């Protein structure tokens, strides 16, 4: 997977909290590793890391475990931590989920974007990449020749919980790599969502909670 400089920052917009069940992707409060089951969504959380010595907890390729302490004093949140290697290419680590199990395309056409709360530990790297794999960027879509340049946004987390709202229309691929490079994300065929850290040699401690689709209230 090639690495290129980040695109311009995301267009974050004020949004109405979509509390209806159909908008909830996961609030993590059941403490398990599956996203909220609704509207055909039934995928699972996971972690991932490069093969160059980067460490991650919970370990990749094992059952994901929620951590105690979520936003607004809730019980649980999704969380990963570790250290990015200082040698190798590419270097990355993160956490995410698939929308369906078995993994397949999910139609999110009725929604306008994604919102969530996130934070980073005090000594953690703060820059993360929101990645939303779709049919054109995920290998399981059987379209991409150079995969993983997912549409998304670069975010700078803080030590405190903060809400991030990123419309699908504002999501961009990274510049100068990937094949294909379509003009926009295909929100009718999404595969999941990830937060990824790429800072060489950095410690990271990333939290995310209360993930929802946006678009309620017109």
Determine whether 25 is exposed, middle or buried from the number of CB atoms within 10 Å of its CB (0-12, 13-18, 19+). Answer: buried
Q: Which domains does the chain have, with CATH numbers?
A: 21-207 (2.60.120.430)
The pLDDT of residue 11 is: 44
Q: Which residue bears the tokens 């590419």? A: 90
- Comparing CA positions, the residue from 180, 188, 132 lying closest to residue 155 is 132
- State the average pLDDT for the chain: 93
Helix (H, G, I), strand (E, B) or coil at 169: helix
Helix (H, G, I), strand (E, B) or coil at 160: coil
Whether residue 2 is predicted with pLDDT greater than 70 in this model: the reply is no
Whether residue 4 is predicted with pLDDT greater than 80 in this model: the reply is no
Whether residue 1 is predicted with pLDDT greater than 60 in this model: the reply is no
164 CB contacts (<8 Å, ≥6 apart)?
Answer: 10, 12, 115, 116, 117, 118, 130, 155
Whether the model pTM is above 0.85: yes
d(CA 44, CA 36): 9
Percentage of the chain exceeding pLDDT 90: 91
Q: What is the pLDDT of residues 17-58, one digit of tens each?
A: 899 999 999 999 999 999 999 999 999 999 999 999 999 999
- Comparing CA positions, the residue from 143, 152, 153 lying closest to residue 180 is 143
């Amino acid at each position: 997977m090639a690495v290129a400089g980040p695109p311009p920052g995301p267009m974050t917009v004020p949004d109405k909290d979509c509390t209806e069940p159909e908008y909830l992707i996961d609030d993590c409060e059941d403490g398990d590793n599956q996203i909220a089951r609704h509207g055909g969504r039934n995928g699972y959380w996971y972690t991932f890391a490069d093969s160059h010595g980067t460490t991650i907890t919970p370990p990749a390729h094992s059952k994901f475990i929620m951590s105690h302490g979520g936003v607004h004093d809730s019980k649980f949140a999704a969380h990963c931590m570790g250290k990015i290697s200082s040698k190798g290419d590419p270097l990355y680590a993160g956490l995410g989920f698939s929308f369906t199990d078995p993994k397949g395309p999910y139609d999110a056409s009725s929604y306008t974007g994604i919102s969530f709360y996130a934070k980073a530990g005090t000594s953690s790297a703060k820059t993360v990449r929101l990645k939303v794999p779709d049919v054109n960027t995920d290998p399981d879509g059987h379209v991409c020749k150079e995969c993983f340049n997912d549409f998304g946004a670069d975010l700078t987390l803080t030590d405190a919980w903060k809400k991030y709202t990123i419309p699908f229309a504002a999501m961009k691929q990274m510049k100068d790599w990937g094949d294909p490079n379509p003009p926009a994300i295909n929100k009718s065929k999404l595969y999941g969502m990830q937060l990824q850290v790429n800072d060489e040699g950095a410690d990271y401690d990333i939290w995310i909670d209360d993930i929802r689709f946006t678009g309620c209230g017109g």
